Amino acid sequence: KISSLSCSGSRSSKTFKPKKNIPEGSHQYELLKHAEATLGSGNLRMAVMLPDGEDLNEWVAVNTVDFFNQINMLYGTITDFCTEESCPVMSAGPKYEYHWADGTNIKKPIKCSAPKYIDYLMTWVQDQLDDETLFPSKIGVPFPKNFMSVAKTILKRLFRVYAHIYHQHFDPVIQLQEEAHLNTSFKHFIFFVQEFNLIDRRELAPLQELIEKLTSKDR
C-alpha cells in the first residue's frame, strides 16, 4: 500500500534497514501469527497480553522485532523530510533533545542530526536483533539473563523515533495519509510497553498527552 517506500536518494535508502524476518515454521513465527490475529480483532489491550503458557522473553522478543520493522517502515516513508538541514539535532519538541551513545563504539554521547541519530539507532537495534546470543531464533536456546534489560533499552530507543516523527514530521505523515497507520502502530507499542512495564514513565514524557489521548478510550 505504501508507495512512498521507495525512498529515493542514497541517504534515505541507507536509513531504511532491511526487514528483520522471523523464520517460518519456528515457534516465534507462530507467536507472531498469534499477535497478528489478535491485533486483527481490534482489541489492542488483549493483543499485547502474554498468551497462555508462553515464555515472556520470547513474547517480548517477537514483539520487539515487529516494532522495529514497523518503525523502520514508518520512518522510511518520511526520510525525505528528515534531513541534516531540517533536523540538525535529534529532538522530540523543544524540551527534549537526544544525544547518541551505544556504550561500545560511541561511549560519550554525541550530538548529531536526527537522520544520523536514527541511522545509528536503527543500525544498533538491528545488530542486537541479529545477535543469536541475545535473540536466539532456535528452539531450546535459552535467552540470556540480561535479555529483558537489553529489550528495555531497544524499546526505549525505538520510542524516540516515534517521538521525533510525531513532533517534527507530523505534517508529511498527514500528507502521505499515514496518520492512522502511525497512530495504530504507536498505540500498539504503548499498550505493549505498559503491559510489561518496559519503559520508564519519564522516557515517555515527550508524548505523554498523546499517550493519554490514545489509551484513555481503552481503559
164 labeled binding residue? yes
Please give the Cα distance from 137 to 145 (Å, whole number).
16
**181 assigned binding-site residue:** no
Yes or no: say if 120 and 112 are a contact pair by the CB < 8 Å rule.
yes
7 is in an annotated binding site: no
Grid cell, residue 173, equals 505523515
Give one DSSP letter per residue of the chain, joined into a string: --GGGG--SHHHHHHSPPP-PPPTTSHHHHHHHHHHHHHHTT-HHHHHSPPTT--HHHHHHHHHHHHHHHHHHHHHHHTTTS-TTT-SSEESSTT-EE-B--SSS--S-B---HHHHHHHHHHHHHHHHH-TTTS--STTPPPPTTHHHHHHHHHHHHHHHHHHHHHHSHHHHHHTT-HHHHHHHHHHHHHHHHHTT-S-HHHHGGGHHHHHHHHHTT-
The whole-angstrom separation of Cα 217 and Cα 219 is 6
112 is in an annotated binding site: no
Residue ranges for the binding site for Zn(2+)? 82, 87, 164, 169
Residue ranges for the binding site? 82, 87, 164, 169
